Structure 1
Amino acid sequence: MYANDGFHELDREECLRLLGAVPVGRIVHTRGALPAVLPVNFRLDRDGAVVLRTSEASELVRAVDGSIVAFEADEVDAVAQAGWSVVVTGRAAVVRDPGEHARLVLDGPRSWVPSPREVFVRILPELVTGRELTGGRTRYGLDPIP
């Protein structure tokens, strides 16, 4: 985390609580040796893992299966100059267990673009960090930026 920059560091429990309250985040992975960021809908699973649902034939599945990725979600109020951001870093893997797949079909995220053969990608949270800003410039007695 960054010290003394006006943000409040969030603990792991608060980070996971906030993640569970939003439907969309961004997965960060490597594509052609360069960073790639893709917005995705997701659901936080009961063990704190981030779960995505996508087409089995998607480029995303090939890019992230077995790789270390980052996942970021946030909520920002530009008028209040407040918000939070949470980043989960961990290994992504396609869910291959038939029983777990069946459970996620019922309890997992719904794909916004359904396809005939969908898979679930689970990101196990090895590192969870978050920051929150409440009140932005007004918190410090400064005029908001127009």
Structure 2
Amino acid sequence: MYRNDGFRELDRQECLRLMAEVPVGRIVHTRGALPAVLPVNFCLEPDGTVVLRTAAGSELVRAVDGTVVAFEVDDIDAVRQSGWSVVVTGTASVVTDPEEHERLVRTGPRSWAPSPREVFLHVSSDLVTGRELVGGRSLYGLDRQ
């Protein structure tokens, strides 16, 4: 981040703590050589792995399994002009281990659009970055308009 730009850089632990408080994020992947962004509900494992649940035959599964993706979560207060944003970058993979799948059926996210055959996706948290807006408009006297 740039010094005095109104933002504060968040460390990994702050990022993961904030992510755990929000139920919806956005997975960013490539579709036809172009960026694609899809809002999804998720949960976070203690080690920072992002867990998604989706239909086994979905386009998302075909697009992301084995690829590097980004996962973005934020919380914005438009009235106060404040908030934070966190991005996790890592490899997405379909959970194929039967025991892990069963554990996630009990503890993982619940589908908002259930399907007869669902799979879980893990997104590793190889890189976790975040920032919080701390200055807002008052930082530069812009709130006096």
If the TM-score is normalised by the length of the shorter chain, which range does it land in?
A: over 0.9
Shift of 1:128: 0.2
Instruction: Map Cα deviations across residues 83-106 of structure 1 (whole Å, 9 max, x no partner).
Output: 000000000000000110000000
Q: Distance in 1 between matches of 2:84 and 2:29?
A: 22
Return the letter of the residue paired with 1:21: E
Do the aligned partners of 1:80 and 1:135 also contact (CA within 8 Å) in 2? no
Distance change >3 Å, CA 103–CA 19, structure 1 → 2: same
Return the letter of the residue paired with 1:84: W
Shift of 1:65: 0.2
Give 1:31-42 correspondences, 5 Å limit: 31-42=31-42
Give 1:12-91 correspondences, 5 Å limit: 12-91=12-91
Structure 1, gaps ≥5 residues long: none
- Aligned match of 1:106: 106
> 1:117 aligned to 2:117?
yes
Other structure's SS at 2:63 match: helix
- Aligned match of 1:133: 133
Q: Distance in 2 between matches of 1:144 and 1:96?
A: 57
Shift of 1:46: 2.1
Alignment root-mean-square deviation, CA: 1.3
Distance change >3 Å, CA 2–CA 123, structure 1 → 2: farther
Do the aligned partners of 1:81 and 1:134 also contact (CA within 8 Å) in 2? no
Return the letter of the residue paired with 2:17: R
Other structure's SS at 1:138 match: helix
Q: Distance in 2 between matches of 1:144 and 1:131?
A: 25
Q: Distance in 1 between matches of 2:49 and 2:11?
A: 16
Shift of 1:139: 3.7
Instruction: Map Cα deviations across residues 7-44 of structure 1 (whole Å, 9 max, x no partner).
Output: 00000000000000000000000000100000000000
Number of equivalences: 145
Shift of 1:144: 6.6
Distance change >3 Å, CA 115–CA 144, structure 1 → 2: farther
Q: TM-score, normalising length from structure 2? A: 0.95
Q: Distance in 1 between matches of 2:132 and 2:16?
A: 13
